[in-house]
Structure 1
């Protein structure tokens, strides 16, 4: 893979985040800084990088212009520190280095991972490298699904999706009445699609569900996947719903661009090329599963944060609506 070079991005300054940037509560700063100092030696003041309803991130300066990152997760993604630590233990070359984590307090301390590939324009060439190693991780992690579910990773396995669809329809959605009617009419067909997808013998596993240019970092020739707080246990191929969306909306690739087939094939290589026919079906179902994950976040937001959140949520819902006609 070519070595990417560009200006450093400050974590939290991403312009293409797939979630709202509404500010929320705070972490116990004194306790957090004491814990941080138990694991690293800060070379300066610890600064708040950002506060979100789902997490607070602190920037920890280290000697020789180094930096570490502290993350305090809200209950909605309290599973993230343990999940990240487990992934790092088995895949240290593919995720951020975990310096420490506290499962009870949902705290995580990470080494710096470089620069998000969004700093380089979200080039599809980077995904050509990232997707196969991410798929290998997913395949390996299928053996740990039950453990993850027992420790709070959300369950979006195929069998649960029809009920999730019904739950979606019970929510007040940022859609027009005719769009909601289309969702209601599609419900029986969605159940059929889930049955078709479940018939394929693809192991359900960790699905990042926010796999975009702000969450894959480059440092020299090494790429790492960060920010696992939107993850679920689900159909693995659904990960590319977000990846492909950002390649369209940010990189500007038209939906029929040949890059999408190249990236699909690169991702499927560790799974087996015979699974090509199921890929489109998985993305179709996955577009709706992605809305269920957004609902889970939205349900835990304070009322004042929902307006900004719903701007992005409507976009996600409309992309799911686009899958109704196949």
Structure 2
């Protein structure tokens, strides 16, 4: 399994090995390459390359250890829920390599800068997402065995304590980063975090797969009489309370637009999503569970940043280091605010 993929990119033997593997796997399917690969995105935790072929582009993804579960997860989902993800052309689970076809346009390509259009698409997306999560709640043991990170509410307090025990992963000399003054507030919050997590764990619905990085750039859309949506890029996925998926309302808004979330539409989309869940839970109970998940789900988001970048802090450039510091600080401060806002503080 690969280490820092920014370093691997500079290694010609690694690049040659990946290209040879892709060419071999495509040849087994009778598909030939038509030109050299193109770099799409390379970060410490994952690298994506596009390979043009005689039948269209395919995409190779290499995952670092922090996201090394993704190829196994995608193979499982492609078999278990083939309508919700792309087929897997090939995978090397030992090296955490994945080869997949082009999924076509993503949702960000087709969204209009119109709130009604955004709400229409996301209402359908959230219905499909809930159906997927409900079904996969039966598979939690298998998903954990595949290496999907465990972020269940009952273990979040322990993970939170571990974060606070390593302040060097939280504090950095960047604008908007957490400071030493933030730590006492975060430590004092631990009893409330424990209580909120316990209530969330007892509330239902059952834990399931959470994508954790779902926005309009990670959803393929197939327009037509029966428009369909396909989810991809599960490198930040985890097992948690399903409603943790909603922790960032900004994900409903176009990533390539200046449109900002409005309260009415966000509440409508929350309602669409919650309506798909266990009818044995009253509407007020589902909403309470959502509020709890929106509060402690911030820990999951902070852990996502730390899982992706934390091991490489001494190796990454200033820009990514600053993004990391801002991201962790944003979610830790949101935790303070959201937990304090539950039940009026």
Instruction: Determine if the alignment matches structure 1 residue 147 to structure 2 residue 137.
Output: no
Higher relative contact order (CA 8 A, sep 6+): 1
How far, CA to CA, are the matches of 1:24 and 1:127 in structure 2?
Answer: 38
Runs ≥4 in structure 1, deviation > 4 angstroms?
Answer: none
Gaps of 5+ in 1: 1-21
- Residues 263 and 315 of structure 1: CA distance in aligned 2, closer, same or farther (over 3 Å): same
- Residues 315 and 114 of structure 1: CA distance in aligned 2, closer, same or farther (over 3 Å): farther
- Residues 187 and 90 of structure 1: CA distance in aligned 2, closer, same or farther (over 3 Å): same
How far, CA to CA, are the matches of 1:282 and 1:314 in structure 2?
Answer: 19
Q: Which moved more, 1:215-224 or 1:79-88?
A: 215-224
Offset of residue 323 of structure 1? 1.1
Gaps of 5+ in 2: 27-31, 171-176
Q: Tell me the secondary structure at the aligned position of residue 149 of structure 2.
A: coil
How far, CA to CA, are the matches of 1:238 and 1:148 in structure 2?
Answer: 17
Deviation readout 1:151-190 (Å, 9 max, x if unpaired) = 2111111111111111121223231333322212211111
Which residue matches 2:260? 252
Offset of residue 321 of structure 1? 3.1
Which residue matches 1:283? 294
Task: Give the alignment partner of residue 59 of structure 1, picking from 32, 50, 64.
Answer: 50
- Residues 180 and 213 of structure 1: CA distance in aligned 2, closer, same or farther (over 3 Å): farther
| Bigger radius of gyration among the two | 2
Task: Give the alignment partner of residue 309 of structure 1, picking from 295, 301, 324.
Answer: 324
Instruction: Determine if the alignment matches structure 1 residue 69 to structure 2 residue 74.
Output: no
Offset of residue 302 of structure 1? 4.1
Offset of residue 225 of structure 1? 0.9
Which residue matches 1:209? 212
Q: Tell me the secondary structure at the aligned position of residue 44 of structure 2.
A: coil
Which residue matches 2:199? 196
Task: Give the alignment partner of residue 17 of structure 2, picking from 12, 27, 31.
Answer: 31
Deviation readout 1:212-256 (Å, 9 max, x if unpaired) = 2221122323211110010111111101113x13346954013xx
Pairwise CA RMSD: 2.2
TM-score by length of 2: 0.81
Count residues with an aligned counterpart. Answer: 301
Q: Tell me the secondary structure at the aligned position of residue 130 of structure 1.
A: helix
